[in-house]
Amino acid sequence: MAEAKKGTWDALVPVGIIGIILMMILPLPPALLDTLIALSMALSIGVFLTALFIEQALEFSAFPAFVLVATLLRLSLNVATTRLILLHGGEGQGSAGSVVEAFGRFVVEGNVLVGLIVFLILTVINFVVVTKGAGRVAEVAARFTLDAMPGKQMAIDADLSAGAITQDQARTRRRELEREADFFGAMDGSSKFVHGDAIAGLLIMAINLIGGIVLGISRGMDIGRAAETLVVLSVGDALASQVPSLLISAASGIVVTRTATGDQLGRALASQFFGRRTAVTITAAILTVLALMPGMPAIPCLALAGAIIAISRRMGGKAEPGAKVVSTGAPGEAPAKPSANEAVDAALALDVLSIELGYELVPAVDAARGGTLTDRVAKLREELARELGIVVPPVHVSDNLELGPSNYRVMISGVEVAKGTCAHGRVLAIDGTGSAPPIEGEPTTDPTFGMPAIWIAAREKELAEALGYTVVDHATIIATHLGEVLRNNAHRLLGRQEVQHLLDVLAKNAPKLVDDVVPALLPLGDVARILRNLVREGISVRDMRSVLEAIAEVAGQTKDAEQLTELVRERLAPAITARYKSSDGTVAALTLDPRVEQMLRASLHEIANGTGGALDPDVLRNLTAKAEASLASFTARSASPLIVTAPDLRRYVRAIVERKVPQLAVASFREIEPAIPLRIVDRLSAA
């Protein structure tokens, strides 16, 4: 049924517009003309009242189109009434329509001069005051709306990347933003329709006056009789069309100024005028003084003063800002928290994860200008959830004028953890193979991996790709850098609240397992520490069921979180092995020279006994230098860098290499499944 109604309106509106055009050509009987003039007035009144009752301009988004249709209707009616007046105006009462005759004879009492003056006053009000003001407001609103679109778009994208809104909500807000820009642009244009309508009214009035007098004289009437009949009807026609025009102009002004109030006009005026006690009191006092002045009407002034005071009290007028507010709560009830404290609380809020951009990088966020950073960040969060099994907090993206125009930085809990620069108007060409021919540009390094790269003009992208370069834009650079930062700092994002969330998700399918481990075997804090230790070394906790099963198996052996982590790692051997297994089915790894293992065990023994145990700095430098040099061997084999050690040395070796060679993972022999062949790449010695 709804579809049928929709189809009816879809057909009725075009037919009506075509009928309006035909009215300019085809003669209309007086009765039909009266009906159409009444319809024009009714539509104008309805539109005016609708403009008063809407709260947002977009609630009446069809208004610009309606202005055009209403203007065409009034002009068509002017042509139709002019035809009747000039052809049949002298044939007696009602020959040109009752509405036109009523306006000409009763509204201005048949006085041509009075009618002309009233018409000119209405035209001046409409043309100079209302139409011109509404057109100016619409023009400014359209310009400001278009200028604000990038900022609003960036705010939507930032909310989306921060997780404050969903993709559907973001799309809805973007559509609303586009509709708002289109609406105010259309309102700017529609004001020209009203402007032209006022001019057309003046011209039609002048033509009717001249034509009426000339036709009256040509039919044998004297000038007085011609003015009494044809000219009076012409004035009535002008007034009958000018009143709807004035209503539409006023409605146009109300619609374009609606954004400033954000409420129905009646409520806004009542609350903002009568709601101010000081202003109402002073107004009533001035009216009272006027009533006491000689010659002034005392009763109307005093009545108005009393009325506005009564209305203000009835509406509960509020004290002015800054006035002292006294609590009216019950005895002992705590007063409302001062706004200053709320501001302090707001200042304490800190984003866990944020990206700050220089102003030249803002287009990377603005989807309207082709920016894809927010979409990439959203996909990155999903990717890390699959890869590491953790929920990355929402990323707050904002601009920062304190940064360089082309700079950006990544913040974790308000602390800068990474930064970079993106050359304005250029893209980054990276030679991943090291064999690509030279290309013109500004040499630099990739901010993520430190690889040699070149900033090139965007127009040379296809040439660089043809030469073997990998070309990336600003959004890709920032998103890739953010991804590596998050992988290296994932353990810092895994707090108790995040761990509890992971447990809650698992509890939906394995509630007994969660209850048996937390808090029966270990408190939440110890579980969080074990998970952080795993994630810190790139071990995924996505299979939370296996992780908790492992914790449940080993929790009886020790309560130390570090030792529990090592035991849990051994039980996660299948996952760890799968991570480092090469395409040929083997695990490529470095091992320690037996003399280095002896040296490390001796050091650990001395540390445990409190008799020293620090290794020779030269030995440490040699170990880390050889480990760093061995990375090329893994790259050549397309294998993940790995050292395999004895279980009792794993943590110690990891502590030695993680600062100098953080990309080199360390696993124990027990963490590699026996069925998988171990291919030794090199042995690390102290010499």
The 8-class DSSP code of residue 644 comes to E
CATH assignment of the domain containing 550: 1.10.8.540
Is 130:246 a contact under the CB 8 Å cutoff?
yes
Q: Are residues 512 and 609 in the same domain?
A: no
203 lies in the same domain as 290: no
Instruction: For residue 556, give every residue at least 6 positions away whose Cβ sits within 8 Å of its Cβ, in sequence order, or none.
Output: 521
Supply the pLDDT for residue 418: 93
Q: How many domains does the chain have?
A: 5
Q: Which of 535, 552, 458, 445 is nearest to 499 (CA)?
A: 535
Rounded to whole angstroms, the Cα distance separating 416 from 481 reads 13
**Cα–Cα dist 164/448, whole Å:** 28
What pLDDT score was predicted for residue 325? 38
Euclidean distance between CA atoms 574 and 171, whole angstroms: 43
Buried b (16+ CB within 10 A) or exposed e, 34-61: bebbeebbebbeebbebbeebeebbebb
Residues 233, 111, single domain; the answer is yes
User: Is 156 part of a structural domain of the chain?
Assistant: yes
**Which residue range(s) make up the domain with 120?**
12-262
Is residue 343 domain-resident?
Answer: no
Q: Do 98 and 140 have their domain in common? A: yes
Structural domain contains residue 612: yes
> DSSP string of 500-565?
HHHHHHHHTT-HHHHHHHTTTTS-HHHHHHHHHHHHHTT-----HHHHHHHHHHHTTT---HHHHH
Based on the domain organization, do 281 and 388 belong to the same domain? no
Do 476 and 590 lie in a common domain? no
Place of tokens 């933003």: 177
Block means of pLDDT (10 residues each) for the chain, length 687 residues?
56 77 78 81 82 73 78 81 72 64 64 70 72 68 66 67 70 78 70 71 74 71 65 72 77 68 58 68 80 78 78 58 39 48 63 90 83 87 89 89 91 92 91 82 89 90 88 92 92 90 90 90 92 92 91 89 92 91 90 89 80 75 87 84 92 88 91 92 84
* The two structure tokens encoding residue 412: 């974790």
Looking at 461, 488, 515, the residue that finishes a domain is 488
pLDDT of residue 331: 40
Residue 67 included in any domain = yes
The answer on 668 and 609 residing in a single domain is yes
555 CB contacts (<8 Å, ≥6 apart)? Answer: 517, 521, 522, 564
Q: Look up residue 67 and give its two tokens.
A: 């202005």
Domain CATH number, residue 644: 3.40.50.12790
